[in-house]
Amino acid sequence: MFSDKKAFQESFKKRLEQSYSISFQDSTRAQQFVTLSNMVREHISSEWIETNERYRKGNKQVYYLSIEFLLGRLLGQNLINLGLYETLETWLADLNIPLDELEEIEPDAALGNGGLGRLAACFLDSLASLNLPGHGCGIRYKHGLFEQKMVDGFQMELPENWLRYGYVWEVRKSDLSVDVPFWGSVDVIERKEGTKFRHVDAEYVRAVPHDMPVVGYGGETINTLRLWSAEMSTMTPMHDVLKYKRETEAISEFLYPDDSNDEGKILRLKQQYFLVSASIRSILRRFLSNGGELKELHKHVAIHINDTHPVLAIPELMRLLLDEYQLSWDEAWHITERTFAYTNHTTLSEALERWPIRIFKPLLPRIFMIVEEINERFCKRLWEEYPGEWGRIEKMAIVANGEVRMAHLAIAGSHSINGVAWLHTEILKNREMNDFYQFQPEKFNNKTNGITHRRWLLKANPELTSLLTETIGDGFQKDAAELSKLAPYADDSAFLQKLWDVKTKRKEILAKRIFEQNGVKVDPSSIFDVQVKRLHAYKRQLLNVLHILALYNKVKADSSYQMAPRTFIFGAKASPGYFYAKRIIKLIHSVADLVNNDPATKGLITVVFMENYRVSLAEDIIPAADISEQISTASKEASGTGNMKFMMNGAITMGTLDGANVEILEQTGPDNIFIFGLKAEEVMSYDKEGGYRSMDYYHHDPLIRRTLDQLVDGTLDDKGLFGVIYDSLLGENDQYFVLKDFESYRKTQEEAGRIYAEDQARWRKMMVNNISGSGIFSSDRTIKEYAKEIWNI
């Protein structure tokens, strides 16, 4: 079908007409998109089946458990990986159908929010592209996190109705559904062969799998992402049908429900157990159906826990091995510990999940019994290692002080614990998890994150892809390490001009989108200074916007002040319950209103906030960026992957020595990156000593004082909206060192602007050196390390 133009076009038209009972001439773009996508999915079905058949023959397989998978749109990506994009673009054009218009019809799959979910999606792509047996397990959220709408600068949250017309890439498999128990109690049955446990009076939820193909580059391997949706089970007597239906469907309705109250905590814990219970039972069923022996499970299956959300997979596997398959504790634990591996994604203590026992125990009674037993045995080992050190043992315990500590459970139940950047792993080993590292150093290792260049270069930036192919050949499309071949062209003036033309083209594309969405005209010749990522205080969007306000003040105060024109571009969602982050979004809009409407700064400073940041929007923003803002407080960002995407597209990093910025500096060299601010060890030293006197900076730096006063003097609003930000910087001692780093950031920004305006040759050379050094940050490299050093696949 896809090898013959005429056969494809006839089949396409016939299928469309039969599916919608409409003539081809009267069909809509949406109908054309669905028809094409269905044809592509059916085209890969035979290879999908063949891939699964290969895995039946004994390959060890890995299952990647994640609460998020931020996939983006799949039509274009699948066609690129299948090698069909350019062919179908031409064939459809003959039918007066622009392929890019069909791509725009597809909704972004609302299955994630930030870097955690995008990393999981990149990993699935790399597993399939490297022909490795690896699958994803997640939740099929009906409404995702939320759709962000801006109303007078305030974030409003609406449900993401991405499934309103169905989803062409999924296959519902009701016959493989499983029932997941909650509440109830545990019966203890004494028998000759030993004590048995049985869950009674439970409330069951049916987990229904929806499988999606994960197409590897070249189309040789099609792995599977299995997403579970929550539905009513026939196993639960329904006294109040509507209440049961509502509570059941809520489990797979939203990503990260608000957990500021007990009801929200219970729902989040339900979500997590729902995911792991359905997934582990599915994994075991598949393993046993292929003739596997349970005692050999860890030799044939690796299960990876992406952050703490799926950690309940550890006691769930223990429950199944103990209660359903009657293994002894020692046998079950031997298998479990060797099957699981855990990736930590944070140094922030509030992100290391802890569940109150008063909620955990009644919701998951049998799981709690198992967690308690794991804790008892783990603490016994600690006592043997550290006799008499009660404080250390309490600190390391899995269950203590009325809480279940999920990160501790992950460490105890896994054979591998890894950080996601060199600096992050060192902080884990030497600070956050130092006690565990001293106890079992052999478990700890680093796996610096990566991104799939097939999405973030080949798909997102076809203009740059074409230029690179013309210059260094197409080998980089399969192996990103070949981007290093570009390094000699840093001194080639003809190539540098072509590269600049590509960047200008991408900036024009984004400028058009900004005008269409925001009604703001931006100058493509200005510096596109971009910060797009989840909104959190430690990521310091606040530092960025305060610098913009200070820059505005300098221009207003001195009409002779010279600067390269700047377009500051933001995109971010704040968690619905995160008041402070939402107030920063409002501040960005208020500063934009002030700056964009002042004749004194017209053409010099423009501020844009692009609502509802998502993968498809990022694909337009990232190729257009000149400066990549990676300005988190040093020691707080685990890795960052946005920094890698920008680097690969020729943007220059403006950042602290935090997360993977440290390794980006190693790859580019100090002349090709803008580094400012405190180092990680300095931040940690201040944290240990109780912070610093932020008020000193307010009193001794007139620019800081003027800028902060504008938060509360009516310049930006007359309702006191930003008093909470003002107080956080001065009254609460500036937890994330915004004022401490402010002057260093301002000077570094000034230097970046000077180079852009006065030394274009140097800037273009920096672009080349960033692109040529970015290959090591391919997720292919990361997955090869996981496969060899952790999973043994």
The catalytic residue positions are 345, 533-534, 539, 641, 645
Give dist(CA 85, CA 633) in Å, integer: 41
8 Å CB contact between 573 and 534:
yes
* CB burial string 264-292: b at 16+ within 10 A, e below: ebbbbbbbbbbbbbbbbbbbbebbeeeeb
Tokens of 601: 């700064």
8 Å CB contact between 121 and 450:
no
For Cα atoms 348, 436, 358, give the angle at the middle one, nearest 5 degrees.
Answer: 65
Cα four-point dihedral sign 221, 222, 225, 231:
negative
Amino acid at 290: N
**Element of type H or E holding 41:** helix 29-56
**What single-letter DSSP state applies at residue 626?**
S
**Element of type H or E holding 7:** helix 5-20
* CB burial string 102-113: b at 16+ within 10 A, e below: bbebbbbbbbbb
For Cα atoms 203, 206, 209, give the angle at the middle one, nearest 5 degrees.
Answer: 155
* Helices 661-668 and 760-772: angle between axes, nearest 10 degrees: 110
Reference 218, options 131, 294, 132, 155; nearest CA is 131
Give dist(CA 388, CA 368) in Å, integer: 27
Tokens of 742: 């402010």
> Coil, helix or strand for 132?
coil
Give dist(CA 643, CA 640) in Å, integer: 6
* Number of Cα atoms under 13 Å in the Cβ half of residue 115: 25
* Number of Cα atoms under 13 Å in the Cβ half of residue 70: 21
Amino acid at 35: T
Give dist(CA 716, CA 593) in Å, integer: 9
Amino acid at 203: E
> Coil, helix or strand for 670?
helix
Q: Which residue has 């984004």 as its token pair?
A: 510
**Element of type H or E holding 197:** strand 194-200
**Element of type H or E holding 770:** helix 760-772
Give dist(CA 515, CA 720) in Å, integer: 31
**What single-letter DSSP state applies at residue 630?**
E
Distance between first and last Cα of the chain: 34
What CA–CA distances, in Å, run from 245 to 163, 259, 266, 557? 19, 21, 16, 62
* Number of Cα atoms under 13 Å in the Cβ half of residue 474: 5
Give dist(CA 168, CA 513) in Å, integer: 27
Tokens of 293: 């022996």
Neighbouring CB atoms inside 10 A of 698's CB total 19
Neighbouring CB atoms inside 10 A of 600's CB total 12
Reference 608, options 558, 663, 660, 568; nearest CA is 568
| Phi/psi of residue 778, nearest 5 degrees | -70, 140
Q: Which residue has 């890795």 as its token pair?
A: 639
